[in-house]
A = this chain, B = another copy of it.
Amino acid sequence: MNAKVKKITAATMILMSSLVLASCGFGGHSSSSKDYTTTGSGGGNYQGVIQNGRYKTSKARGINVSQNDNQYNLKSFENGLTQVSKRVFSPKSYIFQEGQYLDTSTLEDWLGRKTKNNPSGLNPAEGKRSNPNPIYIQQIEEQDYMEESGNSMKLKGMTIGIGINSEYNYKKKDDGPSFTKKISDAEVKRQGEIAAAKVLKRVRQKSGVGDIPIVIALYKQAPDDSLVGGSFFAYSKNSGSTISGWHQLNYKTVVLPKASGTTSSTGSASQTDNDSFSNFKSQIQSFFPNLSGVTAQAQYKNGQLNGMHITVTTQFYSQSEIASFTQYIARAAKKYLPNGIPIDIRIQSDSEMQAIVYRDAGSDTFRTHILTSY
């Protein structure tokens, strides 16, 4: 079915609908002569590709969920990958498209162990059951970066993230105890670079990829029991089929408040931030009875605090308690939490979110929104 026929079919379906809908696209680049539009941009984010009125989903959609026992690793990997992409492919010039060149079965093979039946596995054969080789490569995700060209979108760049485990959990017997092998940072880096070289070569050969720049980014997975995901530590921008060199990335994620007595590996800045957060926490806990928990994920970039996600878990509150508490938290956040970084604070019970307080990057105002009901 060529593009023209597709468009006519889509138009007919809309006319057949009993609802009076405007034409399917209303993005910034909508026009009656195109199959593609975009989701619209704003705030330094990418526009996404809409094809014939539908969002263009990944060829490997859903595989990422099964790749991670710890969903923090999944979210931080995906968000971090977009941040790395922004260093190379500016949202002002490029349009984001979910990965179209690596499909689910390809990635499943790559993420498996290398065996006779799976020669493309990036992980080593298991070896001895009593002392198995680790699964090093845990997740892979592709992002495509596009430019409009006449009536279509042309691939102009690609980013591929590779997540490498920092520990490996295994059993010597099915019903036996669990063992954990720590994987050193040096080994994480080495395994990542080995995998990156193979991935780059394979992706470059895919039909339609051509000589676009391919960015490969390496991510160190957090342990399965971590309350925060891992971090990207290096990326490479490549015009050929071999890795052209690595740029280091200095991200670090921590959970606050730190257990007392923990030695800080992020230096004194982190101690100051931990104190600020502890003050904030004490302030709101003294204000309100029955707060179950106040915790934060903090991200550091080059040793400086880069953002926080705070979760306040409440016991049941009435609607007026939630309203008063939200007002109070917004004021406490402004007073006690570090300036100049994006922060969000989720106020939630066990069963549902009750309110959100947040400050965007570049803003000095905390906004509040209470989730009420009629």
Chain A interface residues toward B at CB < 8 A: 17, 19-22, 24, 26-27, 39-42, 45-48, 50, 53-55, 57-58, 61-62, 64-65, 71-72, 75-76, 78-79, 82, 96, 98, 141, 143, 228-229, 253, 275, 278-279, 282-283, 286-289, 297-299, 307, 309, 316, 318-321, 323-325, 327-328, 331-332, 335, 344, 346, 353, 356, 358, 367, 369, 371-374
Contact = CB atoms under 8 A, between A and B. Distances in A.
A289 to B, nearest CB: 7
Given A57-B321, A356-B369, A298 B374 contact: yes
A57 B374 contact: no
A249 to B, nearest CB: 14
A117 B185 CA distance: 72
Contact of A286 (B24, B98, B319, B331): B24
Given A288-B55, A358-B369, A374 B41 contact: no
Which 6 A-B pairs have CB atoms at the shortest separation, nearest pair first? A48-B324, A78-B319, A75-B373, A297-B374, A39-B327, A299-B374
Contacts of A344: 369, 371
Nearest to A278: B19
Given A76-B374, A356-B369, A279 B82 contact: no
A37 to B, nearest CB: 10
A318 B64 contact: yes
Nearest to A297: B374
A17 B356 contact: no
Contact of A39 (B48, B253, B319, B324): B324
Contacts of A53: 286-287
What is the total number of copies of this protein in its complex?
2
A24 B328 CA distance: 12
A19 B369 contact: no
Contacts of A335: 22, 26
Contacts of A367: 367, 369
A62 B316 CA distance: 7
Contacts of A288: 54-55
A32 to B, nearest CB: 17
Contacts of A374: 72, 76, 79, 228-229, 253, 297-299, 307, 309
A324 B229 contact: no
B82 A319 contact: yes
Contacts of A316: 62, 65
A371 B282 CA distance: 24
Given A65-B316, A319-B78, A321-B98, A72 B19 contact: no
B373 A279 contact: no
Given A55-B325, A98-B320, 15 more contacts: A19-B278, A20-B279, A39-B325, A39-B331, A45-B323, A54-B287, A55-B324, A72-B373, A75-B319, A75-B373, A309-B372, A309-B373, A356-B356, A358-B369, A369-B369
